[in-house]
Structure 1
Amino acid sequence: MFFILFVYLLHLISLCITQPTSYTCDPLSSCGCSKERAVLSKIVGGEPAVPHSWGWIVSFRRYLDHKCGGAVLNENYVITAAHCIDDINTIISNTVSVGKHQLSRSGQIRSISKVFVHPYYKKSTFENDIAVLQLSSPLNLSDPLVSKICLPNLTETTSFDVPEYPRVNSSLVVVGWGRLLFRNDSLPDILQQVTVRAISKNHHMCSESIQNPEIQFCAGIDNGGKDSCQGDSGGPLMLFSNNRWELVGIVSFGNECALPNHAGIYTRVAAYQNWIKNILEKGIDVLDTTTPISILKTTTTNSYPINSKIYKCNSSAQCGCSKNWAVLSKIVGGEIARPNTWGWIASIRRNSLHICGGSILNKNYVITAAHCLNFDVLRQGSVSVGTERLSQPGQVQSFSEVFIHPNYDHRLLQNDIAILKLSSPLDFSNSVISNVCLPNIDKSFLRREEYPDVGSTVVSIGWGTLYSNASKASDTLQQVTVSTVAKTHWTCSGSITNPEIQFCAGVNGGGKGTSFSVYSDSTNIQQNRKTIFAF
C-alpha cells in the first residue's frame, strides 16, 4: 500500500515538473498578444514554439541570411540590439522579416529606411545595446500572424524603480532562431523558446559579467542549460504581465551559451522608454530631461555623471551656445557627444561621403582646414549641418565660393585654414543649428600667438576614426577633452613647424586626440560661458 502511494506521489511530482504552462492573453489588448496562445514546458535547453504564438518576432537579415532577432513595436518600427548594426554603411543590404514561424519562410519583408542606434552605445561593454529601425513601408498589422509587443508599463508597477524592472526571480521568456549549441554554426528552422528567470546583479552568475545594472540585467537558471545564443541577439526577452506580454529585455551578450554559473546579459528596456517613445511618436532620436542619466554614463550622482564637466552656456550669447549644455567626462580616448550640444559642427563631404569636419561661422560661411579641399571636394563637395549622425544628413548645402589661405603650405600644413561660402543661407530657425564664436583677443591679456594659453582645457569634436589604423569614420559625433601643450614640450616640438600659427594639444600619456593630424577637427575653448573657435 505504501509502495503504491509512493509511486503515485512520484507520478504527481513528475506531472508538476513537466506540465506545460499555457498563457491566455487578453484579446482586447492592443499589444502583447498573438494569434495563438504561448505554451511553454520546463524542458532544459528550450523547445520549439507553438506556431504563431509570438507574432512580434523579427528576423533581421543580411541579404537572405538570418543575423539577429528583434521585435515589432508598431507598423513602422522594430527594435533590436545596437551590436547587430555593425556597419551603418551596409544597412541597405539588410531587411527584416516578420509574421513567420520558420526561417525558411519569407513572411512580410521590409527594407530599412532609417536606423536609430542609441547615441551612447558602447561596443566594448555592450552598454546601451539597443537600436530602433524604421521600415521602408508599414507592416500589415491586419495580418493575423503579425502583432506588436508591449513596452513595460511602469505605471502599473509603482512599487519599484526602473533599475529593478523586471524584478529578481521573475519568470521570463526569450524566443529566437539562435544556435541550439554554441559550437554548432547551423540555425534551427523552427522558432525556439525558453523560460529563464531574472537574476540579482549580486549573484555570482551575474556580478562579474554585468557592467551597469541600471541599464543591463541578467537572466538564466542556476545550473545552466537554458539561455539565448548566437543568432538570438537583438531578440525579445518577455514578461507576462496583466495578461499580455511586455518587452523587458533585449538579448545582448553572454559567455558562450547556457553554461553553468554564467547568465545571459540583457538590455533593460524600461530604462529607455522615453528614448523609444520619442522615436515612435516624433521620429527623432532625443535624450530628453526625463531620460535616466545612467544611460549617459555608468556612475552617477544627482543629475550628472561623476567626474563629468558640465558647460552651462549663456543662453543670451549670439554665438557659441547650442540647444543643450555640453557634458564631458574624463574618459580616456573620448566619448560620444551628447545630442545637440555642438550646433556648429559641419561635415564636409564629397559625393555624400564624409571627408573632414568644420564649424559654422554664420548662416553663409563655414570654416575648415585647407588640406581638406582637394580637387574632387571642390568639384563634388557639400556641407551637412544640424546632425550628430553621418548616416542622417541634416541641412545639406553646396558651396559657391572657396577661400583657401593664400599662404597655405601643403607640405608643412602651415596656414591650414579655409572658408567656404555656401550656395544658400542656413536655416538658423532650426534650434539644433548655431554658430561658433571667434576668439575675442581684445578681452584677453595674451598676445595672438599665445592664444589659447598653455594648459587651457579645450574640446575637439568630429567624426574621425576612433583609432589610428581604423578605415571608417565614426557614424556618431565624438568629443574629447584635451589640454594645450607648450611648443617646447617634447610631445609638440618635433611636430610643429610654426608656433605663431599652430599649436599642440593632448594629454600626458596619450589616448586622446584627433586622428591623423595635430588638430584639424573643430577645437573649442569655453570663455565667458560661450564657446570660441581656437586656431
Structure 2
Amino acid sequence: MVSLRLPIANPHLCGGSILSDSYILTAAHCVDTLSPNDLSVVAGIHNKSDQNGVIRQVDHIFVHPNWSSPENLHDIAILRLSQPLELADNSLLTRTCLPHVHWPTIIEHYPSSGTRLAAIGWGNRNSSLLDNSPDNLHQVQVFSIDNNDPNCIESRYDPEIQFCAGLHEGGKGDSGGPIFQWLNNRWEQVGIRSFSKGCAIAGNPGVYTRLAYYYHWIRSIVVDTNVQPPLTYTCDNAKTSCGCGYKNVELTPSRIVGGEEAVPYSWSFMVSIQGRSSKSHFCGGSIFSDSYILTAAHCVEDETADNIQIVAGVHNRSDPNGVIREVDHIYVHPGWSSSSSERRHDIAMLHLSQPLGLASKPLLTPICVPNVQWSTNVESYPSSGTRLAAIGWGNIKQSWSDNSPDNLHQVQVFTIDNNDPICNKSLYDTQVQFCAALYEGGKDTCQGDSGGPILQWLGDRWEQ
C-alpha cells in the first residue's frame, strides 16, 4: 500500500498499490487532472505522518484511454516512478499480486458473489464533508455483492469492468486503494476503490474497478512498452502501384496506450475529410484513385458535396501545404440506412472535382483493396488474429471533449473472431462487418477516426 501525495503541504490524496519497482496502480479519477510534477508516492509507512517512508517522484501518468469521469468507467491508472523503489533491498515493501483470472475466462463473476474481501486505506472513517481520515492505515472486511443485487445495479454502471462490495450496514475505503481476496498463501488484488454514493451508508455498496478485465493493459505498460522496438515495414513504390507510403511504416508491436505518432508521410493514402468553410476535420478517408476517396457512409450522409473538401499529403492537420480538393459528388451505398443502429453497408465514395495528380506527387499513393471476391468466404477475411494497423487523427482517449492530435496517429490491433462474445456484443452482420481491437481496451480508433482505413501487411504492401 502506498500514499499518493500532492506537492503543497504534502497531503494524502489517494491510495495505490505497488505493481513493480517502478510502477504504481491507482484510480484514474485520482490523477486524471494532474501532471507528473504534481505527484509523489510514499511507500513503506503505517502512519501518514511517518517521516521515514520511501518517497518517489512520478515521471509519467498512464490514464486508461477509455476513462470516462461521469460514470467512473475504466477508473484505472498507472504511475511510473522517476526512480525505482528497490524492492529487493527493502523488506517493508512488496508488490501486489494481480488476478490469476483474466480474459479469455469469463470475468464478470470474479471475484464471485459473497467472496470475503479486505479493503485498506487512509480514507475517511465516516460520511462527512470534513477530513476525518485516520493517520494510521485502516482495514475493513467486506463481501463482494452479486451483479444483479438491486443496490449494486443502482450503484455501478458496467458489470464487466466494475463490481460492488460492502456490508449491508455500510462500508468504507480509500479512493485508488486496493481491495484483496485471500488465496490461502497470499493476498490477490481484485479491484481498485472507485466510488460510492456515500461512505459507510447502508444500501450504498462501494464500487470497484474489476482488475481481471485490465490484466493485459497493465502488463502492456509495465512490461511490453519497455522492451519491444518498433518494426519497420519496408515498402518499395517502384515495385507496387498501391499500398506503399512515401516513407516506411514503423509500428510498435507493444500495446502503447492510445496508439503512437506515425512516421510522417508513411501512410500516404490517408486523407482528412473536412468542412469546406470551417476547414475542420470530421472524418478520415483513403485515396482509392486519382479522383475517388473511400470513407464511411455515416460521415457524409447528411452532407452535400459542396460542403466538403479533402486534404491529402499531410502529417499534421494544421499543415497549410496539403493537396486540397473539393468534392463534386457523394456516392453512399444504397444498402446503408442511418435510421438503423446496425450500421450495415457503412461505406461511401467521394468524387473529386479535380484529380489529385498522383503520378506527379510522391507524397500521395492509392490504397490497395482486398483481392478476395464476394463469391468466396468473405466472412473470414481478414482471418481471426490478424495483426492490423488503424490510422487517423481521432481522439487518443475517450472523452466528451476534443482531444484529437494534430499529427497522424497509428495503432496496432488484431481481428477478433466473429463468434467471440466480445465481438458478438458489437457486430450485427458478419458478411459486411468485422471486429478489431485489443481485448483489454485502450487501443482502437476513436471519434475522429470514423471513415479511416484499417490495414494488413501483405509482405510488400499495405492492403485496406
TM over 0.5: yes
Per-residue Cα deviation, 1:161-185 (whole angstroms, up to 9, x for no partner): 3222111111111111111122142
Distance 1:262 1:528, change over 3 A: closer
1:195 maps to 2:121: no
Distance 1:453 1:369, change over 3 A: closer
Q: CA RMSD in A?
A: 4.7
1:317 maps to 2:263: no
Q: From 162, 171, 178, give the equivalent of 1:216.
A: 162
Distance 1:323 1:190, change over 3 A: same
Per-residue Cα deviation, 1:354-388 (whole angstroms, up to 9, x for no partner): xxxxxx43489999999xxxxxxxxxxxxxxxxxx
1:243 maps to 2:169: no
Helix, strand or coil at the partner of 1:194: strand
Q: Return the alpha-carbon distance in structure 2 between the equivalents of residues 101 and 264 of structure 1.
A: 23
* CA shift for structure 1 position 317: 2.9
Q: Which runs of 5+ in 2 are unaligned?
A: 229-241, 295-304, 306-324, 334-345, 349-390, 410-447, 457-461
Distance 1:523 1:227, change over 3 A: closer
**Sequence identity (%):** 30
Aligned residues: 312
Letter in 2 for 1:237: I
1:169 maps to 2:114: yes
1:78 maps to 2:78: no
Maintained 8 Å contact 1:525/1:531: no
Maintained 8 Å contact 1:197/1:221: yes
Distance 1:444 1:78, change over 3 A: closer
Maintained 8 Å contact 1:58/1:97: yes
* CA shift for structure 1 position 255: 0.6
Per-residue Cα deviation, 1:435-468 (whole angstroms, up to 9, x for no partner): 9844624457999532555798689844599999
Between stretches 454-463 and 185-194, larger displacement belongs to 454-463
Alignment of 1:347-496 (within 5 A): 360-362=264-266, 437-438=286-287, 440-442=289-291, 449-453=327-331, 461-463=393-395, 473=403
Q: Return the alpha-carbon distance in structure 1 between the equivalents of residues 93 and 406 of structure 2.
A: 33
* CA shift for structure 1 position 323: 6.5
Q: Return the alpha-carbon distance in structure 1 between the equivalents of residues 146 and 454 of structure 2.
A: 47
Q: Return the alpha-carbon distance in structure 1 between the equivalents of residues 116 and 50 of structure 2.
A: 30
Maintained 8 Å contact 2:32/2:63: no
Q: Answer with 1 or 2: which has the greater Rg.
A: 1
Maintained 8 Å contact 1:205/1:262: yes
Aligned to 1:258: 200
Maintained 8 Å contact 2:120/2:177: yes
Q: Return the alpha-carbon distance in structure 2 between the equivalents of residues 261 and 192 of structure 1.
A: 22
Helix, strand or coil at the partner of 1:280: helix
Q: TM-score, normalised by structure 2?
A: 0.56
1:154 maps to 2:101: yes
Aligned to 2:36: 91
Aligned to 1:130: 76
Helix, strand or coil at the partner of 2:152: coil
Q: TM-score, normalised by structure 1?
A: 0.49
Letter in 2 for 1:69: G
Letter in 1 for 2:328: E
Letter in 2 for 1:151: L
Q: Return the alpha-carbon distance in structure 2 between the equivalents of residues 201 and 285 of structure 1.
A: 38
Maintained 8 Å contact 2:243/2:463: no
Helix, strand or coil at the partner of 2:223: helix
Q: Return the alpha-carbon distance in structure 2 between the equivalents of residues 83 and 152 of structure 1.
A: 22
Higher RCO (Cα < 8 Å, 6 or more apart): 2
Alignment of 1:327-346 (within 5 A): 339-340=258-259, 344=262
Distance 1:451 1:82, change over 3 A: farther
